[in-house]
Structure 1
C-alpha cells in the first residue's frame, strides 16, 4: 500500500470518527442551567470543545486504521470470504 493511499484512508476514517464523536459530552443550556440568548436554538451546545472532539477522533481513527492495516497485511477478512461476492467472475 503506498503512502498516499494510507493517508487518504486514514483521513477518511478520521472524518467519520469526528462525526461519530461530535455528540458525546455535549450539554445544552437546559442541562447546564444557562439562559438562552435571543435567537439561540434550544439544542445549541453550551460547552462545545472542538479540541476534545479532535483528540477523540484521532484516537478512534488510529485504532480503526490500525485494525484495517493489520487486516490488509494479515488477510484476516478478504472479499472471497464475504457472502454473495466472488472475486473470480
Structure 2
C-alpha cells in the first residue's frame, strides 16, 4: 500500500471516528450544575473542548487504522471470507 493511500484511509477513519467519539463525556448545563443562558437548548453541552475531542479521536482512529492495516498485511479477513460467511449464514452453498 502506498503511503498516500494509507493517509487517505486514515483520514477517512479519523473523520468517521469524530462522530463516534463526539457524544462521549458530554454533560449538559443541568448535569454540570451551571447556569443556563436564555434561549439555550436543554441538550446543549455545558463545555466543549476541541482539544480533548481531537485527542480522543486521534487515539481511537489510530487504533482502528492499526487493526485495518494489520488485517491488510496479514489477510485475516478477506472478501472471500465474508462472502463464505454470508452464504453459510443464508444456508446456501456458494
TM-score normalised by length of structure 2: 0.84
CA drift of 1:39 comes to 1.4
CA drift of 1:3 comes to 1.5
Greater helix proportion: 2
Q: Which residue in the other structure is 1:67 paired with?
A: 67
- Structure 2 portions without partners, runs of 5+: 88-94
Q: Which residue in the other structure is 1:26 paired with?
A: 26
1:18-37 alpha-carbon deviations (Å, 9 max, x no partner): 11111111110110111211
Matches within 5 A, 1:1-80: 1-80=1-80
Number of corresponding residues: 85
* Equivalent position SS for 1:82: helix
CA drift of 1:43 comes to 0.7
CA drift of 1:76 comes to 0.5
1:23-71 alpha-carbon deviations (Å, 9 max, x no partner): 1111101101112111111111012111111111100111110010011
CA drift of 1:4 comes to 1.5
- Structure 1 portions without partners, runs of 5+: none
State the distance in 2 between where 1:50 and 1:30 align: 21
